Amino acid sequence: MNKIIALSKIQLKEFFSKYQSGMNIKNKELGKLLIVGLIVALLMPMYQISSLLYRSFYQAGYPELTVTYMYLSTAFIAFVSSIPLVISVFFYAKDLKLLATLPISENTIIYSKLSTIYVYTLGLSALMMGPSVFFQIYYGGRLLSILTGILAILIAPIIPILAAMLMVVLMMRFFSNKGNKNMLTIVGNIILLGFIVGIQLVMVRLQMRPEVIQEMLGKEGGLLRLVGYRFPPSIWLTNMLQGSVVDTLLFIGLNVVLLLALSIISRAFYRKALQAYNVEGSRGFGKGRLYYKRQSVGHQLIKRHIKIILHNPTFFLNTFLSLFVPLLMFGISFFTGEMTMEVFRQPAMAPFITIIYSGILATPAIIGNISATVISREGKAFWETLVLPITPQQNIRFRVLSTIVINLSASLLLGAAALLIIPANPLQIFISAALCIAITLLLATADIIVNIKRPFLNWSNPTAAVKNNLNVMISLGLRVIYGGFLFLLIRILSLSMDTTVILIAAVSLVFWIVVRSMLYGRFTKEFTNIQI
């Protein structure tokens, strides 16, 4: 068998088996069913969006723009998803040591590794672009459209993957020289976030300046340019589906040129980037002094759990970025002018101040479900705390406390920032703080039960421990159910806003006591039986 095919097959098998094991579902049939369900769940909205877009663009006289629009979205999402995949497949892969010793070219290694990312993004592009291409073919009715449509889906992932790879390599070169590998992921994700926010801002500003849109519509092919001006290949792709030979050549040509370019730089990429990055045992230059200070067991354990998050870029980003989402959203909304400082100062808003402020304070606890992976995050180092002379209750308690410390710190910062724009009085602040504490206690305690039931310790990549882990989804599901319960309760009782917040805090405290007794009862037993 061709070496590149053989290697790609192994890479793909490993990638998907890791993905499946990352879902931590013991029943294989259930796992398959879940994947099918996930595909259907993703395909349905894509079909609806494409159908809606097709009808809109058809009315404007440009039905072909459905594909342009969907291709743009696909390219953007594929680019975004490719960044962590490139980092994971190239820079956190453990197989490079073995691959480096095999009699295969650097090109083979790089292309086989890229194949896993390609297959993943191909699935994504088929899901996203598939329905729009289907409409184009169905209503276009030409044989050529079918061929070019299939070709378009097959080629669509190449540009985003290579763009992501280029970006990662450039960052990696920089941070590898600086001697801080983990900064790559952190800075990479922050840049990515900035990129997303930047696009949002550009779009909002464009909407606020309609003359730019009018000008573009006035030109020949104006609407097409308007939709595709951010990314010319989308225009070539659309015209390719329309039968334009020149645009077909441009679109396919660009992809071929990019692949050739990759082939040329792959040797340098392999030698100067991958190999350099994967050098082990490099001595750091430790700072600080040697100390022998005594600290309490609780202090040490909480410090350990927080450091596990801080040390690992995936855990760090997953925890801290999600904790500060409200701050980011506020920032964007204010910057774009969608929200003003005066909004919260209007008399009509007065009754809602407590509930809005409570919501902001409780956000870290609601969306930062970090306890759901607190055991999994330790991975194979989980044995360490098991052999220490501490009780299982202590072991669990300090894990929960770590989450509470992180969440409440974030709530404090958010609360202080929110006070700059929200005119909450001391009583409202007190009530909101009570709700925040109650919700934080309840959710941090409930989340660790999820992780005790579904510990996932044998991961090779931290991304698997968090992102692919269904625990996070289950924990979010619990929030939805609890939120639904509270909503019903509030609807039935129909109290004033302030009383509602007090009621939610009280109910959450009662639930916390119940969940806590379950955690330190039967779930502590399950904790001691976690198999390493």
Partner 1 sequence: MLVISNVSKNYDNEKKAVDNLSLEIKQGEIIGFIGPNGAGKTTTIKMITGILAPTTGEIRINGKDINKEPVEAKRNFTFVPDHPTIFDGIRGIEYLNFIADMYDIPEAVRQERIERFTKTFQIYTALKDSISSYSHGMRQKLLISGALLPNPKLFILDEPMVGLDPQSNKMLKDIMKEHCKNGGTVFFSSHMLEVVENLCDRVAIIHKGKLIACDTLEKIKQKNDTSLEEIFLEMTKDE
**Least Cβ distance, residue 117 to partner 1 (angstroms):** 26
Q: What residue ranges bind partner 1 (CB under 8 A)?
A: 280-297, 299-300, 304, 307-308, 310-312, 378-381, 383-384, 386-392, 528-529, 531-532
For 220, the token pair is: 């020949």
**Least Cβ distance, residue 24 to partner 1 (angstroms):** 17
With a CB cutoff of 8 Å and minimum separation 6, the contacts of 141 are none
- Give the nearer residue to partner 1 in terms of CB position, either 126 or 184: 184
**Least Cβ distance, residue 304 to partner 1 (angstroms):** 7
Residue 153, phi then psi, degrees to nearest 5: -65, -40
Side-chain half-sphere CA neighbours of 194 within 13 A: 6
- Give the nearer residue to partner 1 in terms of CB position, either 211 or 280: 280
**Least Cβ distance, residue 307 to partner 1 (angstroms):** 5
- Give the nearer residue to partner 1 in terms of CB position, either 308 or 362: 308
Containing 25, the helix (H) or strand (E) segment is none
**Least Cβ distance, residue 283 to partner 1 (angstroms):** 6
Nearest to 169 by CA among 233, 114, 250, 246: 114
- Give the nearer residue to partner 1 in terms of CB position, either 103 or 286: 286
- Give the nearer residue to partner 1 in terms of CB position, either 308 or 478: 308
**Least Cβ distance, residue 407 to partner 1 (angstroms):** 21
- Give the nearer residue to partner 1 in terms of CB position, either 48 or 180: 180
DSSP 190-254: HHHHHHHHHHHHHHHHHHH-HHHHHHHHHSTTHHHHHHHTT-HHHHHHHHHHTT-HHHHHHHHHH
- Give the nearer residue to partner 1 in terms of CB position, either 309 or 434: 309
**Least Cβ distance, residue 311 to partner 1 (angstroms):** 3
- Give the nearer residue to partner 1 in terms of CB position, either 328 or 532: 532
- Give the nearer residue to partner 1 in terms of CB position, either 345 or 522: 522
CA quadruple 55, 60, 64, 68: dihedral sign: negative
Total number of residues shown for the chain: 532
**Least Cβ distance, residue 524 to partner 1 (angstroms):** 12
Nearest to 311 by CA among 190, 182, 459: 182
**Least Cβ distance, residue 528 to partner 1 (angstroms):** 7
Is the Cβ–Cβ distance between 159 and 254 less than 8 Å? Answer: yes
Is the Cβ–Cβ distance between 65 and 77 less than 8 Å? Answer: no
Separation in Å, CA 164 to CA 4, 15, 70, 407 = 22, 19, 19, 32
With a CB cutoff of 8 Å and minimum separation 6, the contacts of 204 are 336, 338
Nearest to 161 by CA among 225, 113, 103, 221: 113
